Structure 1
Amino acid sequence: MVHPIQLVQGADFKINLETDHIILHGSVEESGGVMLRGSVVLDCHENTKIKSITLKIIGKIKVNWIEGTGSHQRLYKEEQTILEHEWSFMPQTRKTYHLSEHHYQWDFELPLPGDLPETIHHDLGEVYYRLKAVAERPTFSINYTDKRSLKVSRLMLPTSMELMQSVLISNVWADKLSYDISVPSKCYTMGGMLPITFQFIPIAPDLKIRSITCTLKEYMTLSTCDHSKTETRIVKVHRDDNYQDTAEHEGEIYRKTEIMVIPDEASNHLMMDTVNDLIKVKHKLKFTVTLVNADGHISELRAAIPIIIAAISAEEDANALPAYEDAWRTAPYDPATISQLIASGQLPPSLAVSIPNAAASMAHSSLSSGDENNTSGLPSPSSSPSSPTAATTTDVDSPLPWQGIDLSRVPSYTTAVRSNRLYSFSGSLPTYESVSMPGRTTTR
């Protein structure tokens, strides 16, 4: 019996991202963007030949639809590239790189602008961001590749007061009914609750409220250079056929709050509001109040409120910043944990000299006293101290806390808080003369 040959790949090649969900804070005009960070990892299980290693990120907007029937059909299609960048970690040369059995890692980062369009996936149009890493092999060898998708969402800031204030429609309909329809804010998230409060005061005698229908409607406008098309669909319908019997009744005033559950993202029945050059998505709440007149005639009161559907709320944002006075409460890294993460390759070794705290001191010590045979630049796990207090013990010959650290690279408040690191130093600061670089004297 002939056994099939099992092909074993000589290396593991992948893209690691700090996060694959990028959250832009604020509107297109006020967002400062965000930093994309990650690494490309190559684990060679044997001696491997590589010609080059590259990483590319690309973001595109596409629309594609057909109008007309039969011989009058016409295709409308447009595409725009909104983001493109490429890294070359091992540039291609005439010679081939010979990599021994080892763990290799290349860290990368890219500032993403705050005006990037949000990710959308629809049959007629989409906005997507994708990364592709390629380790090119010599002729007749299969290249190593890995792909990752990046999701971009936008979070409206609390400073956008026009989105957080309640919306009220108040009017008198046909001299028969006074009505107030209100929602607590203009912005809501997928999967959330949307409370709608109705208050009616009948003016005409014997006027009855038969039913109330609330409809969440979505409008998607697709555009090319010379044409546009708007698609509409009903996302959610909420109907109450017993409003007048179940509403709070005080004199001639009827009041009741209806709750509409907004579909979540997993249902694929709803898209978030977005505006870009080719795709525009917006939503409206539409109301229909069916009334029965004294003579039995049926009338309908119609109204609408524009709302905004967002992908996430401020409470769900993992990157939401604390108040300035509460930033110090952010939990610092545990020194032993940091050292272990650097040793395992989950954090870059440069972290040991970029954070001036006890964790950095311990990680830096691990790097300095690592195994001589460890050529990857990562500390061996055995070099990590077993107790966090070990980092606070200073010998007479040990370097000062600020030595080995680039003091000119001061992080911004935003960077400091988002990194979850405690930037603090309890000792005395160095003098300017002790950290300044002496000038060079040239003798001829």
Structure 2
Amino acid sequence: MVHTPRAKPVLEIIPNNRFIVFHGDQHEAQTIKLNGVVRLTTPDAMSIKNVKIWLEGKRRISWFYMGGMAAGEVSDKKTFWREERALGTSGTHKINSGTIEWPFEYTLDPSMPESIEGMNSTYIVYYLHASVSRPGWNAKDITTTQHIRIVRTLGPEQMETTRSRTNADIWANKLSYSISIPTDAVVFGTSIVADVELSPIRKGVKLGKIEMRLIEAVTKRIQSAEVPDQRGDRCKVDESDVAKAEMEFPENSRVTFADESADNPIMEDEKYVFKATLELPKSLKQCRQDVDSHNINITHRFKLMVNIHNPEGHVSQLVCRLPVKLFISPNLPVDDSNEVQVAARTMTDAELNQQEVALNAPPEYGRHQLDALYNDINTGGYMSRAPSGSATPFYAQSRNGSSENVQSLSGIAD
């Protein structure tokens, strides 16, 4: 006779929504209800004592270091949020076989930090925990856990600070260029499309391969005391390329005129106009959203490079950097595997990014007073020597961000 194991009681947390979205920062966003049921399914009648659920938020900041003969790990862990609820009837009582449910509800405050997931040693995560206590000295409690993700998308006020980005100038008396992106707010998991205009000025200059990068900068800080004092804090800054792409120079993108021919040349500067697309990672394990919370700061820059073949034989490189802000959109949510749910989308990348920004279109740039907004931006990586228009902030000289006398394309340093 084959012995069949007895079925065990099963406890589940079933929230109405595990993907919580705050629209705007803590001052702009509204409170959100997180509700659902705790469900217990048991094959036999049983006695239970107490049923409870609690929402827990944990933060960890960690990195490894090596210095001389010493090596180790710097780590700081904290449970920054815990809210417990008692469910049902307290005290020991008996329930019948079958299914029993207990409803729960939490009011989530907009000051709660958004989830930061995908990095191995640094995170902000939320979990719902539930337990059913059983009377008796050898009876084990029945427990379960459910992951909750909190994201913070752009609110109307933040939409007003989003805008197109343009970097236009004459580089090293060799090339006139204009590189722009339609918006600096980009939905996580989509793509960045740059409009590129290039006009060689110096005779004999040839344009070569186009390279693109998305650079992610992660700053982690561990406070040495409860009272913030950066002089005693420990800090780690990492930069990495989280997306790369390259394309051959599109020779067919040269601007021509209807009546232009070899016998009737148009006396205009040689000019090339085309689009360059950088596909963004679809996983939080490769790239994260922009965030500044609980001593974790993550920012991104879009970098476009144009290889320039000089008549003397060496290769120069025009380097353009534009700041971008990645955010997770409820229209392109992330699943429990930290992957964007691409199958659920019904719009192209351009349509999705345009829709997000168009929800609350910002006023014209000239109507803003943006001095305060750009005070804390390091302009060392921006290349324009002077504004090229009302939509271009003042950038540092372009020559500083360029590399010359490179012997070959393969030898170009990033």
Q: Which runs of 4+ in 1 moved over 6 A?
A: 315-318
- Residues of 2 paired with 1:143 and 1:191: CA distance? 41
- Residues of 1 paired with 2:160 and 2:202: CA distance? 36
Whether the 8 Å CA contact 1:117–1:275 is kept in 2: the answer is no
Residue in structure 1 matched with residue 128 of structure 2 by the alignment: 131
Whether the 8 Å CA contact 2:113–2:294 is kept in 1: the answer is no
Of 27, 31, 34, the match for 2:32: 34
Deviation at 1:295, TM superposition (A): 2.2
Percent sequence identity is: 22
CA offsets per residue over residues 329-374 of structure 1, 9 Å max, x none? xxxxxxxxxxxxxxxxxxxxxxxxxxxxxxxxxxxxxxxxxxxxxx
Residue in structure 1 matched with residue 109 of structure 2 by the alignment: 113
- Residues of 2 paired with 1:314 and 1:8: CA distance? 40
Residue in structure 2 matched with residue 258 of structure 1 by the alignment: 276
Residue in structure 2 matched with residue 227 of structure 1 by the alignment: 234
Deviation at 1:277, TM superposition (A): 1.8
Deviation at 1:91, TM superposition (A): 6.5
Whether the 8 Å CA contact 1:158–1:164 is kept in 2: the answer is no
Larger radius of gyration: 1
Structure 1 runs not aligned, ≥5 long = 322-444
Residue in structure 2 matched with residue 298 of structure 1 by the alignment: 315
User: SS of 2:5's equivalent?
Assistant: coil
Residue in structure 1 matched with residue 2 of structure 2 by the alignment: 3
Of 227, 245, 255, the match for 1:249: 255
Whether the 8 Å CA contact 1:44–1:99 is kept in 2: the answer is no
Number of residue equivalences: 314
The aligned runs of 1:376-395 (5 Å cut-off) are none
- Residues of 2 paired with 1:221 and 1:315: CA distance? 26
- Residues of 2 paired with 1:115 and 1:287: CA distance? 36
Determine if the alignment matches structure 1 residue 239 to structure 2 residue 246.
Answer: yes
User: SS of 1:264's equivalent?
Assistant: coil
- CA change 1:235–1:32 in 2 (3 A) is same
User: SS of 1:146's equivalent?
Assistant: strand
Determine if the alignment matches structure 1 residue 104 to structure 2 residue 109.
Answer: no
- Residues of 2 paired with 1:107 and 1:160: CA distance? 35
Deviation at 1:316, TM superposition (A): 6.9
The aligned runs of 1:344-423 (5 Å cut-off) are none
- Residues of 1 paired with 2:331 and 2:12: CA distance? 32
Whether the 8 Å CA contact 1:63–1:124 is kept in 2: the answer is yes
Whether the 8 Å CA contact 1:117–1:274 is kept in 2: the answer is no
| Letter paired with 1:187 | A
User: SS of 1:246's equivalent?
Assistant: helix
Residue in structure 1 matched with residue 171 of structure 2 by the alignment: 173
Whether the 8 Å CA contact 2:196–2:275 is kept in 1: the answer is yes
Of 195, 203, 206, the match for 2:204: 206
Whether the 8 Å CA contact 1:121–1:127 is kept in 2: the answer is no
Deviation at 1:235, TM superposition (A): 1.3
| Letter paired with 2:118 | H
Higher helix share: 1
Residue in structure 1 matched with residue 375 of structure 2 by the alignment: none
- CA change 1:161–1:137 in 2 (3 A) is closer
- Residues of 2 paired with 1:29 and 1:247: CA distance? 47
Whether the 8 Å CA contact 1:48–1:98 is kept in 2: the answer is yes
> What is the TM-score of this pair, normalised by structure 1?
0.65
Residue in structure 2 matched with residue 409 of structure 1 by the alignment: none
State the superposition RMSD in angstroms.
Answer: 2.5
The aligned runs of 1:38-117 (5 Å cut-off) are 38-68=36-66, 71-90=69-88, 93=91, 96-101=92-97, 103-117=99-113
Residue in structure 1 matched with residue 144 of structure 2 by the alignment: 146
Residue in structure 1 matched with residue 193 of structure 2 by the alignment: 195
> What is the TM-score of this pair, normalised by structure 2?
0.70
Whether the 8 Å CA contact 2:7–2:43 is kept in 1: the answer is no
- CA change 1:134–1:265 in 2 (3 A) is same
User: SS of 2:255's equivalent?
Assistant: strand
User: SS of 1:160's equivalent?
Assistant: helix
- CA change 1:228–1:315 in 2 (3 A) is closer
